[in-house]
Structure 1
Amino acid sequence: MKKRLTMIAMGAVLALGVFGLMGCAGGGNEGSADERGGESGGTAAAPSGQISVYSREDGSGTRGAFIELFGIEEKDASGEKVDMTTPSAAITNSTSVMMTSVSGDENGIGYISLGSLNDTVKALSIDGAEATAENVKSGEYKVARPFNIVTKDGVSDVAQDFIDFIMSAEGQKVVEDNGCISVADNAGSYTASGKSGKIVIAGSSSVTPVMEKLSEAYQALNPDVTIEVNQSDSTTGVNMAAEGTCDIGMVSRELKDSESSVKATVIAQDGIAVIVNPGASLDNLTSDQVKGIYTGELTTWEDIVPSA
């Protein structure tokens, strides 16, 4: 059974203070590191011994995209997709907890939204491509996924106006200023609409930080609009939008075939960074090596053949 990281108030305060809500992903629901982790930061030796595998919780869009991109999700005999993540993986419930855990564990490996990177962890190159926004945009770094918003038919006028802002030149600049990659390079300008009302948004913890920045920018232009952003996970965002309990859902992965009751709009592109302790001498892994680590085929760092 997967080990779950215990949430405690002091850990939440520490994680929030160190990481905040950063870039294209990050924060919210901070907690303490797994018992294999420790204090964040410091200098680590080259990884050796048992690999400490960190993953995200079920329902996380980042996890869903990660296991799909690296082939960790496989079809069983009946054709159903099965997550083959090793049962020994420690489960983290937010980007900040993931970063705290890996930064404090010399043998740790995890994954986060590219926009949340800072010097408390080290991003590995994958198949020789460095994890940068520029490489995601050019297609050289292939570990990337969309940031979607989802809505039902009949979205309110004020929610539609906010969506129009997101896809405008001004909204896409907010996207880029917060570490994500614009998906509307030739977008037109937005003019303040004078709308009033309330918009409720819910879902992915990875999309939340950039959504909060988009909300702030929109409300500065339309002060009679209130926007409430609730962080959870991608699956919850889809379900709440489908049920009508929020106006807009946030999803950091492709929609599943079973989620056809909502319409998806890609608002940004984001890379997923594979991270290790900042002092690790390891710089690059192949896609097959990442898959081997996360399926439990490779269990020690000595199993990893150095990759140029």
Structure 2
Amino acid sequence: MFKKYLVALFVLCGLSSSLMAENIYPISREMGSGTRGAFVDIFDVKKQIGNKKIDATSKKAEVTNSTGVMITTVANSKNAIGYISLGSLNDTVKAVKIDGVTPSVENVNNKSYTVFRPFNLAVSSNNELVNDFLAYIGSNLSKNIIQKAGYIAIYDNEFSSAKPSGKIVVAGSSSITPLMEKLKEGYKLVNPNATIEIQQSDSTTGINSAIEKIADIAMVSREFKDNELKSGLKTQILALDGLAVIVNKENSINSLSKESVKKIFTGEITDWNRVK
């Protein structure tokens, strides 16, 4: 309502409302999101407080609670900018180059695109079914699924399922969830005796669920924190994933420097005319 009032005021004063269209609307993920944690680390969106560096995302940034909401929000707002998993990218938004390099699996592989993070798993259960599923995830059978989904597979082991029965609960990152759904479908083809329940939330919630034994496997789309590594959970890398900085398709911006992205999300740069 306040924004509409300002636009009306500009028009009444004989000023073009297009002046306001240059404002940047940064969109961030919620605290606890692994994607946010990885983004903040990679782009150094931090400030020094005592001996620690903490998340310095601008309080003016709109917060979304999932990858899907992030994409929809940017797609519907001409001046919005956000960030998502490269594997989640679709044609409703535009991914910008970072320091002149296009975000792609090929460029992550050849290390020219440096904006990427691991998709991690944290495991609380040690039973035949969980171990069989983890072996499948690290096998040649899952490699094509991972790569087709737009991620980078790092394993290529031979696999033959022992077909154990039971139920696995997998919880955590909304960025990893779509890939995990595909792996679940693939695993069911080789082991129809298994039931896999996937609970989408965020990385921190997933980790806590695994620590509390509510989930057998946590999906974590960032690096593990020291206290999480000391929790006794077994860890495994699922895949590597590029992060894509996204803007509305009508935005003329095609490339941004890492420094500009940092300044946008800390609130230092607030209009597109200042972007490099």
- Given the two structures, how large is their TM-score scaled by the length of structure 2? 0.90
Counterpart check, 1:174 vs 2:162: no
One-letter identity of the residue aligned with 1:73:
K
Deviations 1:213-253 (A, max 9, x none): 11111111111111111100000111111111111110000
Q: Please name the residue that 1:4 is paired with.
A: none
Matched, 1:144 2:113: no
1:121 aligns with 2:93: yes
Equivalents in 1 of 2:47, 2:112: separation in Å?
25
Identity over the aligned pairs, expressed in percent? 47
Aligned partner of 1:6 in structure 2 is: none
- For 2:47 and 2:22, how far apart are their aligned partners in 1? 28
Please report the TM-score for the alignment, with normalisation by the length of structure 1.
Answer: 0.81
The whole-number CA distance in structure 2 between the counterparts of 1:237 and 1:75 is: 28
Is the contact made by 1:203 and 1:234 (CA closer than 8 Å) also made in structure 2?
A: yes
1:216 counterpart (185, 206, 217) = 185
Is 1:51 the counterpart of 2:51 in the alignment? no
The aligned runs of 1:93-242 (5 Å cut-off) are: 93-152=65-124, 155-184=126-155, 187-242=156-211
- Aligned: 1:275 with 2:246: yes
State the partner residue of 1:7: none
Q: Is the 8 A contact 1:206 1:252 kept in 2?
A: yes
Partner Cα distance (2:234, 2:161) in 1:
25
2:268 corresponds to which residue? 297
- Runs (4 or more) in structure 1 with deviation over 4 Å come to none
Cα deviation, 1:119-162, whole Å, max 9, x if unaligned, reads 1100000011101111111111111000011013x511100110
Code of the residue aligned with 1:157 in structure 2: it is: E
Which shows bigger deviation, 260-269 or 249-258? Answer: 260-269
User: How far is 1:48 from its partner?
Assistant: 4.9
Post-superposition shift, 1:192? 2.4
Task: Say if 1:48 and 1:302, in contact at 8 Å, map to a contact too.
Answer: no
Cα distance in structure 2, aligned partners of 1:210 and 1:55 = 22
Segments of 5+ residues of structure 1 without an aligned counterpart are 1-34, 36-44
Give the total of aligned pairs. Answer: 257
Hey, which of these two has a bigger chunk of helix by percent?
2
**Separation in structure 1 between the aligned mates of residue 46 and residue 154 of structure 2, nearest angstrom:** 27
Task: Describe the SS at the equivalent of 1:228.
Answer: strand
Higher CA-based Rg: 2
CA contact (8 A) 1:48 1:301 kept: no
1:75 aligned to 48, 61, 67, which one? 48
Deviation, 1:291, is: 0.3
Secondary structure of 1:190's aligned partner: coil
**For residues 29-44 of structure 1, what are the structure 2 equivalents within 5 Å?**
none
> What amino acid does structure 2 have at the position aligned with 1:290?
V
Q: Deviations over 1:64-99 (max 9, x none)?
A: 00000000033311x223110000000111111111
Amino acid at match of 1:63: R
- Distance in 1 (CA, whole Å) between partners of 2:138 and 2:226 is 25
2:147 counterpart letter in structure 1? E
8 Å contact from structure 2 (residues 132, 161) kept in 1? no
